[in-house]
Structure 1
Amino acid sequence: MMAGQFMGYKMKYWVSGKRMTTEKIQMLHGSLTDFGDFNEERAGLKLLPFDTEMAVEVVAFNDHFDSLPSNIVRFRTPKGAAPFATSYPIVEECDANNLKAVISWRDSPRTITPVTKYYVEYNTSFTPSTWTNVVNVTTQGVTRAEIPLSYYANYSFRVIAENEFGTSEPSAYSFQACMIPTMNVPEKNPSNVHTDTSKSHWLIIKWDVMPQIEHNGVGFGYLLGYRDQSGMNVMNRIEDWTQDEYRMPYYGVYQPVEIFVQARNAFGDCTDPVKIHDGHSGEAVPRVQPHNFELVSLQENAACFQWDPVYLSPEMMQGEFKSYKIRIWKAGERDTTENIFFVNDESIIPCSSDFDEALNGNTTETMTETAKIVNLPFDTDLEAEVVVSNIHFDSDPSNTIKFSTPKGGNGVTQGGMSKIIKALNVLLGRL
């Protein structure tokens, strides 16, 4: 119990072992309403030296005296901390003729550990919520940067500081905007120009939309062109800058075309040379399908299949060959149990073991495609077929085969012991 009017607390802290020369006091004014509630009083210390052994004690005080001190608590401060946010940048120069801005800023006086890098970012009136890193300053002590700009845009700037312990919060943005009213032709053309071959009898040309910061003026759009093997040239103007594709009906299936997309605005066409890209019209269902699909062998839950190969030319595939696919499902439950295995997947291996060759009378002497599918369910009636696929379409399926997996262990179905004996005879004949 304290005699007199309670005034608050004092936190006394010092570097361990150096109390006489380093002690400081932090005053905590306030009052306790009810000691019986066992209220927990909390307070924090700021601007402590880094990587230092510290000691702290607390006393209560009234208008005349201090209480006896609490127990002494000792702790070690961390080795450092991330910077505090810098001041907002000041636009020292906004040069519309040379398309550059010069900005400067100040470190926070609360930042103790030296800053090693500044990230300078800008936003524009086109996308005010999007900040783009444009310049990094790594020279010690330099808090000034020159920033390259584009035509026909309004810019604001902010700075993020970094040291070995982390990055600061972004600074407030610059109060003064940098306005570039000058227009010019676009300086680049759209990227990722390609054809989409997913729709038969259509030519679909796609590209990445160019953001407004790259328009360099009003009236921005695209000039699109293509040329096919017949020599037909088609040009089309796209006035909507947000458009990212052009579609037109096309008579041929997977026909090669040359395409380009050029940027333009009211000031003129992009001066960067336009690039010609190779593409194709849409794919369709392959004209070919696998035949003579059969089960070569079945060992526990691994099945080996073979079938006659098909012609994989673009004309017969009506597209770009992608893979053979083996479809397997439980008999009578195809809709809910079908699994598809891509034969070109690394997990699917050809049937090349001596045992499999023996069961088929040495398959390597005939032109066949083979694949081994593993981890099939035991003791199950299954059905399977194979198709050949281009990027977007599957062929008509092969014949469907039916088979049953064993209950497990080392059994071999499809002929049982007689085929095992046949296989062994073939193998012994090669010795």
Structure 2
Amino acid sequence: MGSSCGRVCWEWGSRLRRLTGFSRLLSTAALAPQICIVGSGPAGFYTAQHLLKHHRLAQVDIYEKLPVPFGLVRFGVAPDHPEVKSYGAEDNRILGIPGENLSGVYSARAFVGWYNGLPENRDLKPDLSSETAVVMGQGNVALDVARVLLSPLDILRKTDITEGSLAAIACSKVKRVWLVGRRGPLQVAFTIKELREMINLPGTRPLLDPADFTGLGDVIKDVPRPRKRLTELMVKSALEKPGEREASRWASATKEWGLKFRCSPLEVLPTADGKQARGIRMAVTRLEGSGESARAVPTGEVEELECGLILSSIGYRSLPLDASVPFDPKLGIIPNSLGRVQGAPGLYCSGWVKRGPTGVIITTMNDSFDTAQSVLEDLQSGLLKLSNSKEGFKSVRSILHSRGVHPVTFSDWEKIDAAEVARGKLAGKPREKLVDPREMLQLIGH
């Protein structure tokens, strides 16, 4: 994928920052546009791919703040799901409740970054000494972290999970994970593949309250097929007697996970010394409306769960790039029309910073192609005026040189890649990721 993108530079240490799929058009000569893409995640690469495929003279430079490419394709998805590594944004939404900063409370984004080797999260050291963990959220990321916490070590050892994370999970005391949602079974955000994988996870059994699913069979008759199939699987697991093989597996399971509905977080409860989380207090809710538009309304009742590990998985959000770039802090996106940044000719965006933190890899691919098409149309119509006064990468290279910054090139990345694969082979894994940028730079002689 990288070799198709012309000259590629993973920039480390300068003022340029990564924001998935953000691009500005630069030019050096008529009909030969130079395009700068900031961010080497899937949105950035797919945008580059479409531009290069449909404009034979285009030159694309990709800039990345880390010494390694691919963004949350590399860092954002569970290591046992290499086939769906896909999407990301730079920050996470917070719970906004008292006690959120206590030890034992982490964002799912940081936890995922920890076991995937994201440099900024390599020193997270999550406390896994509690038997019960709570994940606030019921999306695929929530299922990912629950599955990693509960998976047999033999499964995790065959993935590219980091060595330090694997060692910590090997000593983990976590035996039970609750996935908590504000709304009900018809509003869960995970997909059927991930749910089926959790139900079939070796050594674990699901905890599904039959009362949550009674009567749903009639309610879902007219809902879209993916939601219907997903709900049917939950109903079957909660209400139907399991087969002999499944019943035997569940009976011998030493770990368990469950779905808890209609609960909204109110407060993280501290230990006696006020330093550590010991549980979470939640408002019991009821639903107003139905389907995707249903709202969770507090009933006045509260419920408490004892737990020493709390992971917040209620969504990701993008961050503003620079004061000169329009940004909607409420929606967490750059205001745009089909990828064209409002009020900034020549500036485009794609991925989650364009549409918000929704979708998976195919969504990002199509979204990025649409942005690239907007660039191509603006080139063809003459809306984008190409100019000899802008030197593209040549100018950026001079700025980096003047600041003493030595960019990591794509060939440098290939050396890092080869070293990670070689280390992984020794451990029987697809790769052993380097997690310290300094070690990466030393490896390539920077």
User: Which bin holds the TM-score, normalised by the shorter protein?
Assistant: under 0.3
Q: Which has the higher strand share?
A: 1
TM-score normalised by structure 1 residue count: 0.18
Bigger share in helix: 2
TM-score (norm 2): 0.17
Q: Which has the larger radius of gyration?
A: 1
